[in-house]
Amino acid sequence: MAAEFSPGREETARRAADLRARALELAEIELHAYEPVLDALRLPREDPQRPERIDVARAKASESPLGIAEVGCELAELGADLARTGNQNLAGDAIAGALLAEASAQAAARLVAINLTEGPAVAEAANLARRARAARDDVLR
């Protein structure tokens, strides 16, 4: 809303709408993303394919939280920018959006780290969480 009612921010408003739509898509995917991990964990421990199936399922299950962390980070940064430079009558909405987006980025980054423990996706998720935290800190100054 803060983007839509800030003069000269049509492109920002379009980007916010795109991010909102992407977040909803990712949330829908995330609802079922961990099911293959649970299926793999139910395999007998002596099954020679079990470790690989678990690893593959965890990697796949980390894709949607990584996407959520990306969206959350970008929205947190966008909200922080709008709180500073957008319509000041809607600064509270921009701040609330930035805080919620930062929280989603943090939670999603943790899911990636839990699923994978290490690797490029974990580092990328941690970086996105740091950027979102910086946006939160900026908006709360």
CB neighbours (10 Å) of residue 17? 12
Q: How far apart are CA 140 and CA 98, in angstroms?
A: 10
Q: For residue 133, what pLDDT is reported? A: 98
Lookup result for tokens 């049509």: 10
Enumerate the domain spans of the chain.
Answer: 10-139
pTM, to two decimals: 0.93
Closest CA to 107 of 58, 64, 57: 64
Q: For residue 28, what pLDDT is reported? A: 97
- pLDDT tens for each residue of the chain, 141 residues long: 888 888 788 898 899 999 999 999 999 999 999 999 999 999 999 999 999 999 999 999 999 999 999 999 999 999 999 999 988 899 999 999 999 999 999 999 999 999 998 999 999 999 999 999 999 999 998
| CATH of the structural domain 10-139, one choice from 1.20.120.680, 3.30.428.10, 3.30.1330.10, 3.40.1390.30 | 1.20.120.680
